[in-house]
Structure 1
């Protein structure tokens, strides 16, 4: 399906060039949608530390394209230049302009956000866990190997899209569609493991930046006491602003484990690790009480290890969470709107993309950063 003729034929896009490892603002065609797609005018798209992997070697076996330029999007991994950071996903939101003939449940004018996995079947057993592992073996991540969302118009699979509730701010919602979904799923998985009254329980959030500051909000909405742990003073300041009851910087608070045990009695009932740091994971059991939950959300470039004895003897219960499926995304949106959960977003123009990247490289930001389109 082609555009209806009222749109320009070209648009600007921030594109990563694998050959010279840089980002250029290029002019590219506006996409024509397939029958199972929506054409969306992007209002906002978010950036995360995972985008830095485009400029640095990674050890996750991720293929960053065939050498041709592709439009960037916010994608989950991590940068070895930073110590405590947040794994997050691909994020964008906007307004539906066209609806493919096979798309279901959407009309022109709907405000939507979406998940980024394409070329999956959405139906197999693996897709019910995560579309990245579709049994077809053809799954691709928009912004990694195919075009993403740092462009004014993009094509979105209708199965990935979810409507944004009325009254929810569109301009600041982009981070919800991976960072928020990942944080929400991590908190919900933790909540399902904990038996007791949340106000009597403590959860540590390790990595309080782009993902963690949302995790803190979801935990507080459930009523938990939250302890924020991060190496960045800015991230800890943001953690306190979002309701963390206590915060610690392990590089300065050398006795932070003892302080946490003093505050909690026997240690935290759970810890959600949003970082890409293997050392941070190695120290996470220190702040958890016996039979506490260790939620693996961040993905370090180095392998993480846990004691087989600790896992077998239930010293810790290791669980995992990610950005999930579209049905979980809808629940995340409903919960976020009900409880007034909102990302802290610093926004740039598309032409300021390099400045945004530089700021992220330097770690001089709070919450999320992204592009706000006209």
Structure 2
């Protein structure tokens, strides 16, 4: 019996030792896997956690350097798709909204009104329109989503001379006024802005809620340069600090496309400004707060067709965010003002 007990005890001891070795083996295997996964994670995410190659440059797509020639060749080979029709440049108006529903149904209702308004204006003036609901580049979500979209449309529609971006919360309030494209024969970017504020590097010197960009190599280069502050995460956060420090009156928040454009144009005037037209003779962008309450007086004294302070071409509801759950203004006032603008047209 004692011998059997000793044998049993010995077997139990060997079993325990074997189990310990097995546990250690499993532990070290898991540790190695964890270390390997950690290394792979660092390699994959090094572009977003600051361990970035100093020579790295974000791009919207493969580098294109001869678009003017390629586009000219395409137009010559496809005369049925001219970039000028009856002497008028072909324009594509581009707008859009997030792919999901608004936070409240009334937001979708007003987005529908906004797009109907744009479709009506484009139908009257022979302008093509494109409504986007897709996010083409996850890195450039939010304010920045328009940049990869515009670039892709330029390359896929060489017959279009001008891409006209108009925010979803902007509305035509002068259906008769027509953009004087003849003024911009020597320009590639037309944006509502004020030279005095631009020279002061004010963060409201221009507004990117409504602008025209010519389909050309210069514009592709501008989009690439513009997008550098756009990738979400640390890049956008750090760029926001630079913009707040450099632009007069700018609050502290992540980099936005409007501030980035002002900074780019003002810091490299020699490279860009010769082809930029700061337009303020009419309201390519009209801030709604100073306009909506004057609609009745405008109707008493003037008539549509001016596009300026007498009868604003575009009323832009900046800060209302009809599709979101918060806004910079009382949402009831925003919706009430949108209704007035819709009926003013």
Does the pair score TM above 0.5? Answer: no
Normalized per residue, the structure richer in strand is: 1
- State TM-score, norm by structure 1: 0.24
- State TM-score, norm by structure 2: 0.25
Structure with bigger gyration radius: 2
